[in-house]
Amino acid sequence: MLAIVGGSGLYSPGDDFQLEESLAPETPYGETSAEIGVGRWHGVPLAFLARHGPRHRIPPHRINYRANLWALGQLGVTRIIAVNAVGGIAAELPPRTLALPDQIIDYTSGREHSFEVGEDQPVRHVDFSYPYSEVLRTALVAAARQQQLALVEKGTYGVTNGPRLESAAEIERLRRDGCTMVGMTGMPEAALARELEIDYACLALVVNWAAGVADGVIEMTEIVEHIEHGMRRVKALLGVTAKMVAA
Ligand code: HPA
């Protein structure tokens, strides 16, 4: 089954999601961010989870990523499309752009970021050379072309700890590292999916220029406006992609 993990601004797949049950599964890691909605969307089975909780109450560094991913895995989810709001660093990523990162750099700290606990189990070091699923990325690109929606097909997502936004110098460093976008929720989600062998892709919506890229400071009102504008396109793209990758 496909799952969508919604970030800021995406709290349901859409009005046309036919919810069959809302599940609050127990996990060895505690509670998920919200109940997981399971139902049908565009004729295909879908699970949906709001990463920040029902009313956006959970900040990025306090999300229980392990519980969320574990619970989705237990439900039989084999593919996840994650939706993440990001700041644009590269010139080709102004606010309202949809982007599909193909690489990631993790700058987070202090998050529970692995299911590997050692103890009586030999430690596995999963391969993470290419963090995102090519199958899902290809489907998203095809869906965007079909709908004539502009989509930047590559990029490197730098994941910061938040919840504060970055300083201009931090963004300059990320740019030197090769990051084209910055957000707070891409990790450890992607790595935990890999540990569970769940295919995972990230659909990023740019909601502001990252710190220091444009003149002035970053205003929350600006972010909220771009999120509202962008989510209609996100939902349209996800709907077509869901049909393509339903397994
Ligand atoms: N930085 C980090 N995370 C973000 C940003 C940003 O500028 N915009 C949206 N999420």
Q: How much is the mean pLDDT over the chain?
A: 95
Atom index in ligand 1 nearest the CA of residue 160 equals 2
CB 183 near ligand 1, within 6 Å: yes
| Spatial distance between the Cα atoms of 102 and 211, rounded to a whole number of angstroms | 22
Averaged pLDDT, 214-239: 94
With helix as H, strand as E and coil as C, how does 182-237 read?
EECCCCCHHHHHHHCCCEEEEEEEEEEECCCCCCCCCCHHHHHHHHHHHHHHHHHH
| Spatial distance between the Cα atoms of 80 and 16, rounded to a whole number of angstroms | 19
CB 184 near ligand 1, within 6 Å: yes
Question: What's the pTM value of the predicted model, to 2 decimals?
Answer: 0.96
Angle between helices 220-245 and 134-146 (to 10 degrees): 100
CATH 3.40.50.1580 for the 2-111+129-246 domain, yes or no: yes
By most ligand atoms within 8 Å of CB, the mutation choice from 98, 105, 166 for ligand 1 is 166
The pLDDT-based confidence of 117 (bands split at 50, 70, 90) is: confident
What are the domain boundaries of the chain?
2-111+129-246
Q: What is the pLDDT of residue 247?
A: 59
Sign of the four-CA dihedral 123, 129, 132, 133 = negative
The pLDDT-based confidence of 212 (bands split at 50, 70, 90) is: very high
Averaged pLDDT, 38-61: 93
| Among protein residues, the one whose CA lies closest to atom 6 of ligand 1 | 87
